Amino acid sequence: MASAAGPRAQRLLGRLPGPPRSPRGARALAMAPPRRFALELPGCSLAHLAVGGDGPGARLDPRAAALLGPPGRSYWLCVPEAPGGDCAARVRAARLHQRLLRQLRREPLRRCRLRPLLGYGGGGGLQRGFLLRDPGRSPDTRRALFALLGEAPEGARLGEFAGDARGQLWQSVWERRDGAEWRRAGPRERVLAAPEPALHPVVPDLPRSAVFPRREAARAVLEACVPLIPEAQAVLDLVDQLPEQVQKGKFPVIAIEGLDATGKTTVTQSVSDTLGAVLSKSPPACISQWRKIFDDEPTIIRRAFYSLGNYIAASEIAEESTKSPVILDRYWHSTATYAIATEVTGGIQYLPPAHHPIYQWPRDLLKPDLVLLLTVSPEERLRRMEGRGVERTREEAELEANSVFRQKVEVCYQRMEDPACHVVDASPSREKVLQMVLSIIQNNCNQL
């Protein structure tokens, strides 16, 4: 099936059907500004800001004050998301967020410094967005933002931070109604430091946007994508042929995980040859032809595709495991770890804590008997990457450029439960690694 994730899909942005809602109710959702922000600072820490505080309040982190106050000017853009289960609205919001990011990287806005920003606590759910720092306070920046948001189909929110002579920080919200000129909405409000919440603001949203706890949750997302991405229907047709629950056969199923260039491909092939096992991959071959299309989509769509790929693979695994052992080159742990590491901004300290439900295996997905996690040092992994010339996904490319992202992926792997990962040092020779892997398999899989 030919790809349509280009101009046609862009023209369709925002036209997904949603549940009936009055115009006034729709505007209330779209226009509700966030009351708190989580701003990623240099060094991958987060500053939490509260809007509308009274009294002296807590002082802002100096790094946050430098990003928000004078001598430059800072703007925030946030895309409201529909709370609850409105998948169509969530898909629209995610695609708008991605479109805005691409346009913010063009002239004249690319001259601004761009940072991730999360809005929350405004009654309209989580709002993903950006902070734009304009060091030169150019009037062209504001005009460019007005022009950009005038084309936005679903009313992204725009605000501005400004400091005063006493060193206090204030927020103004901009709005445009019924084609009129842009104007400030209401009085400006004080911005103060806010206490850090117990969990990163994005974590409660993960089961609806990135780490789907069951098949139907991921299926609903791709169903909402059908008017935009025809290939989504082809994936759904395969999913709808699957039984509700599949049962593993008498032979063991072993998933082998690891970052790119940890030797995963070599080990999976060697283990399958040694054990006379079937070698399988997730996503399976029947949908791999569409990976490039979905890899270019926002997290919610990309992760729904990979999640459903796990369920399609599970059906194949169930059948094969009645005849022989099955070795899996990646499975659900990869889908979940990359999603969590991508969505949770900041450093590893902001990841969901160990034993959080987000690390639990989906109840309706066939569970492997054993999961092995291959690891090597960052230096060894980079050495192996040199000269490979293998096409990588967006997240795999970021592993090379962003050491914090790599650390978050590794920590998420280590926090997975039921089944947990058995960590294997894949730095030694191929022969030694294979011996270690086979020893772990024999000690944990009685069927061999």
pLDDT tens for 277-312 read 999 999 999 999 999 999 999 999 999 999 999 999
Using left for φ > 0, alpha for ψ between -120 and 50, and beta otherwise, residue 57 falls in left
Cα-to-chain-centroid distance, residue 17 = 24
Residue 7: per-residue pLDDT:
38
Going by pLDDT thresholds of 50, 70 and 90, the confidence category of residue 58 is confident
Beta bridge partners of 38: 48, 118
Which of the two residues, 389 and 73, has the higher pLDDT score? 73
Q: How far is it, in rounded angstroms, from Cα 76 to Cα 271?
A: 51
5, pLDDT greater than 50: no
- Region of 69 on the Ramachandran plot (φ > 0 left; ψ -120 to 50 alpha; else beta): beta
Task: Report which residue type is found at 263.
Answer: G
Please tell me the pTM assigned to this model: 0.87
Average pLDDT, the chain: 86
Q: Is 103 exposed, middle or buried (0-12, 13-18, 19+ CB in 10 A)?
A: middle
Q: Residue 33: its pLDDT value, please?
A: 76
Q: Give 185: exposed, middle or buried? Use CB within 10 Å, 0-12, 13-18, 19+.
A: middle
Please give the residue that has the higher pLDDT: either 55 or 409.
409
- Whole-number pLDDT of residue 377: 78
The CATH code of domain 205-444 reads 3.40.50.300
Looking at residue 152, what is its pLDDT?
A: 62
Average pLDDT, stretch 364-392? Answer: 78
* Tens of pLDDT, residues 224-272: 999 999 999 999 999 999 998 899 999 999 999 998 878 888 999 999 9
Digit-coded pLDDT (tens) for 145-192: 999 988 765 668 899 998 888 888 999 999 887 777 899 988 999 999
Structural domain spans, the chain: 7-197, 205-444
Residues 6+ apart with CB under 8 A from 347: 43, 44, 45, 404, 407, 408
In which band, very low, low, confident or very high, does the pLDDT at 54 lie, cut at 50, 70 and 90? Answer: low
Backbone angles phi, psi at 339, to 5 degrees: -65, -45
* Tokens, residue 229: 């991405």
Lowest average pLDDT, out of 85-94, 126-135, 209-218, 337-346, goes to: 85-94
| Residue 30 in this model has a pLDDT that exceeds 50 | no
Q: How confident is the model at residue 25 (pLDDT cuts 50, 70, 90)?
A: very low
